[in-house]
């Protein structure tokens, strides 16, 4: 980069890099820095060069058959020239002086003709591409990448799948329309399709509401983040939900007499059996136990315990980070799996499915509504019956308090003593 003085003004002189020779006909450029001070010129030169390169990059990006990339390049090129991209009809409505400023900013080639890429960018000659519903989902993943940071592959799959399902259902019913063309009637038709499924297939209103929520999240996110300015007909569509189904807890007698009976769980594979038993006296979620690593299983500590941490995965909430003492059958189970549960570390859903299928097939579910998760609720019921303080229960379960948390809470040793009162 060379700074040279012409008359009383300093200029920047530099050869055009080979990369940009396809969009810049000059072999080298001379650009006025609009100053007679060498110090100021040296400060302005790198910034000026950066703007020139950004313009070339935007022009390179516009030399493509991809409509989205071409439109994005036009917006970037307009921004480099100091303007906001506007479609041609909006440009035509600008005040005269603003319109002339855009026209004058379009550079001429050596032959006197205007640069057509610059003309299209500054005067709104690039059409905004239509974004279909399926394309919106593709864009959505990149727009919400911050929401997936720290998720394990299994967590990411379970987070993505409901959104994929919602979009697929909508496209199957309504078609892969441009999101700007979605009408209120389209959304009512989609809602009616769900209503018929709820009536005819015994599904819950919540099933339909989840699809509507996930579809709406995808469309609204793309609309907002891509600054499309669309008015989407997504309000007042949800179904009225009845009383939420409660997952019933296993009673103490059922756990003791059925689940812990000699040989009752022998048909389960070792890791699944140990997770089930670990839940009995910890109340930990199946997914939390499945994710444990060797370093989080501390059997040799003065108070044996497990530590629920965001290792290779996100925790459900910030309160989910906690330590839980190991007692009774849970301590014995973890001693059999000191390295954790590699079979289920990346697939806690298959763990629950395996255990629930086994319990159902062997008559070990207290009622048809019971599931593995009922051990977590059963542990809480036993603590409640024993009069254990709510703060202690919430700390053990990773639940938020209804008030501000003061102090560090009970020590591990104290927690162990309390749990031993209800341990099986």
The reply to whether 270 and 203 lie within a common domain is no
Q: How many domains does the chain have?
A: 3
Within a domain: 55: yes
Distances (CA, A) of 34 to 44, 188, 343: 9, 61, 68
> Does some domain include residue 328?
yes
Measured CA to CA, the distance from residue 122 to residue 103 in angstroms comes to 8
Cα angle 241, 246, 250; round to 5: 170
List strands edge to edge, sheet with 9-15. Answer: 2-6, 9-15, 28-32
Q: How confident is the model at residue 402 (pLDDT cuts 50, 70, 90)?
A: low
Comparing 55 with 357, the larger pLDDT belongs to: 357
Instruction: Answer yes or no: do 110 and 154 share one domain.
Output: no
| Cα maximum dimension of the chain | 100
Element of type H or E holding 252:
helix 252-254
Is the domain of 115 the same as that of 44?
Answer: yes
| Cα 216 to Cα 82, 175, 187, 206, 213, distances in angstroms | 35, 16, 10, 15, 5
Instruction: Look up the domain containing 10 and give its range.
Output: 2-123
CATH of residue 265: 1.10.443.10
SS3 track for 141-199: HHHCHHHHCCCCHHHHHHHHHHHHHHHHHHHHHHCCCEHHHCCHHHHHHHHHHHHHHHH
Looking at residue 363, what DSSP letter applies? T
Calculate the average pLDDT of the chain. 85
In this prediction, residues 56-79 reach a mean pLDDT of 65
* Residues 174, 189: Cα–Cα separation, whole Å: 8
Q: Is the pLDDT of residue 411 over 60?
A: yes
The residues, ordered by sequence, that sit 6+ positions from 107 with a Cβ below 8 Å of its Cβ are 114, 115, 118
pLDDT tens digits along 143-153: 998 888 888 88
The percent of residues above 90 in pLDDT, for the chain, comes to 33
Q: What token pair was written down for 93?
A: 């409505």
- Alpha-carbon torsion 345, 349, 355, 361, what sign? negative
- Do residue 113 and residue 161 come from a single domain? no
CB 112 within 8 A of CB 207: no
173 and 278 part of one domain: no
Q: Are residues 103 and 201 in the same domain?
A: no
Pair (258, 344) in one structural domain: yes
> Is residue 234 domain-resident?
no
Residue 242 placed within a domain: no
- Residue scoring higher pLDDT (59 or 178): 178
pTM above the 0.75 mark?
no
Q: For 15-29, 229-243, 317-331, which range has the lowest pLDDT when averaged over its residues?
A: 15-29
| Residue 325 pLDDT exceeds 60 | yes
pLDDT in tens, 367-390: 988 989 899 999 999 999 989 888
Residue 231 belongs to some domain of the structure? no
* Residues 216 and 140 sit within 8 Å (Cβ to Cβ): no
> For position 337, what pLDDT does the model report?
93
At residue 110, the pLDDT reads 64
Whether the Cβ atoms of residue 73 and residue 62 lie closer than 8 Å to each other: yes
Q: What is the pLDDT of residue 66?
A: 53
Residue 31 lies in a domain: yes
Helix (H, G, I), strand (E, B) or coil at 28: strand
User: Are residue 294 and residue 359 in the same domain, yes or no?
Assistant: yes
CA 35, distance to chain mean position in Å, is 49
Judge whether 196 lies within some domain: yes
The band of 257, judged by pLDDT with boundaries at 50, 70 and 90, is very high
Task: Kindly state whether residue 53 falls inside one of the protein's structural domains.
Answer: yes
Q: Does 253 or 64 have the greater pLDDT score? A: 253
User: 245 or 208: whose pLDDT is higher?
Assistant: 208
Q: Which candidate, 390, 270, 259, places its Cα nearest to that of 328?
A: 259
Is it the case that residue 243 has pLDDT exceeding 70?
no
Q: Are residues 319 and 221 in the same domain?
A: no
**In this structure, what token pair is assigned to residue 10?**
């300093």
- In whole angstroms, how far apart are CA 115 and each of 29, 49, 103, 121, 339? 16, 20, 11, 10, 66
**356, pLDDT greater than 60:** yes
- pLDDT one-digit tens code per residue, 211-224: 999 999 999 999 99
Over residues 252-273, the mean pLDDT reads 94
Report residue 83 CA to chain centroid gap: 33
- If one compares 407 and 353, the residue with the highest pLDDT of the two is 353
Residue where one domain finishes, among candidates 97, 123, 149: 123
Residue pair 210/166 in contact (Cβ under 8 Å)? The answer is yes
At residue 26, does pLDDT exceed 90? no
Q: What torsion, rounded to 10 degrees, do the Cα atoms 373, 348, 356, 282 define?
A: -40
- Other Cβ atoms less than 10 A from the Cβ of 271: the count is 20
For residues 33 and 113, membership in a common domain is answered with yes
User: Do 312 and 258 belong together in one domain?
Assistant: yes
pLDDT surpasses 70 at 45: yes
pLDDT confidence of residue 50: 77
Query: Which region, left, alpha or beta, applies to residue 100 given φ > 0 means left and ψ of -120 to 50 means alpha?
Result: alpha
Q: Are residues 171 and 36 in the same domain?
A: no
Number of Cβ within 10 Å of residue 85's Cβ equals: 21
Domain boundary among 63, 91, 123: 123
Q: Which pLDDT belongs to residue 61?
A: 59
């Amino acid at each position: 980069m060379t700074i040279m003085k012409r008359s009383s003004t300093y200029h920047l002189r530099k050869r055009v890099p080979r990369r940009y020779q396809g969009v810049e006909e000059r072999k080298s450029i001379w650009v006025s820095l609009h100053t007679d001070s060498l110090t100021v010129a040296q400060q302005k030169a790198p910034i000026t060069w950066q703007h020139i390169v950004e313009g070339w990059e935007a022009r390179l990006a516009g030399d493509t058959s991809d409509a989205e990339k071409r439109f994005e390049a036009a917006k970037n090129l307009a921004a480099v020239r100091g303007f906001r991209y506007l479609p041609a009809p909006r440009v035509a409505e600008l005040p005269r002086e603003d319109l002339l400023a855009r026209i004058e900013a379009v550079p001429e080639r050596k032959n006197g003709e205007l640069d057509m890429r610059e003309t299209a960018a500054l005067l709104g000659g690039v059409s905004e591409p239509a974004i279909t519903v399926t394309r919106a989902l593709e864009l959505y993943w990149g727009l919400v990448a911050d929401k997936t940071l720290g998720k394990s592959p299994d967590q990411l799959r379970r987070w993505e799948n409901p959104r994929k399902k919602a979009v697929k259902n909508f496209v199957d019913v309504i078609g892969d329309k441009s999101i700007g063309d979605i009408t209120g009637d389209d959304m009512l038709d989609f809602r009616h399709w769900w209503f018929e499924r709820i009536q005819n297939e015994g599904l819950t209103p919540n099933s339909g509401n989840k699809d509507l929520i996930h579809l709406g999240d995808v469309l609204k996110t793309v609309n907002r983040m891509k600054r499309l300015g669309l008015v989407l007909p997504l309000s007042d569509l949800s179904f009225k939900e009845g009383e939420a189904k409660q997952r019933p807890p296993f009673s103490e007698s059922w756990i003791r007499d059925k689940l812990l009976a000699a040989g009752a769980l022998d048909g389960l594979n070792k890791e699944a059996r140990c997770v089930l038993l670990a839940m009995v006296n910890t109340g930990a979620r199946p997914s939390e136990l499945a994710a444990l690593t060797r370093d989080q299983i501390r059997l040799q500590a003065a108070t044996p315990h497990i530590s629920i941490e965001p290792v290779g995965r996100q925790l459900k909430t910030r309160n989910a980070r906690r330590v839980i003492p190991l007692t009774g059958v849970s301590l014995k189970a973890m001693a059999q799996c000191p390295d954790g549960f590699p079979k289920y570390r990346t697939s806690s859903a298959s763990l629950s499915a395996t255990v629930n299928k086994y319990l159902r097939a062997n008559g070990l579910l207290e009622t048809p509504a019971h599931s593995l998760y009922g051990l977590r609720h059963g542990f809480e019921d036993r603590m409640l019956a024993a009069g254990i303080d709510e703060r202690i229960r919430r700390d053990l379960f990773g639940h938020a308090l209804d008030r501000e948390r003061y102090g560090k809470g009970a020590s591990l040793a104290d927690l162990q003593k309390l749990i031993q009162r209800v341990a099986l």
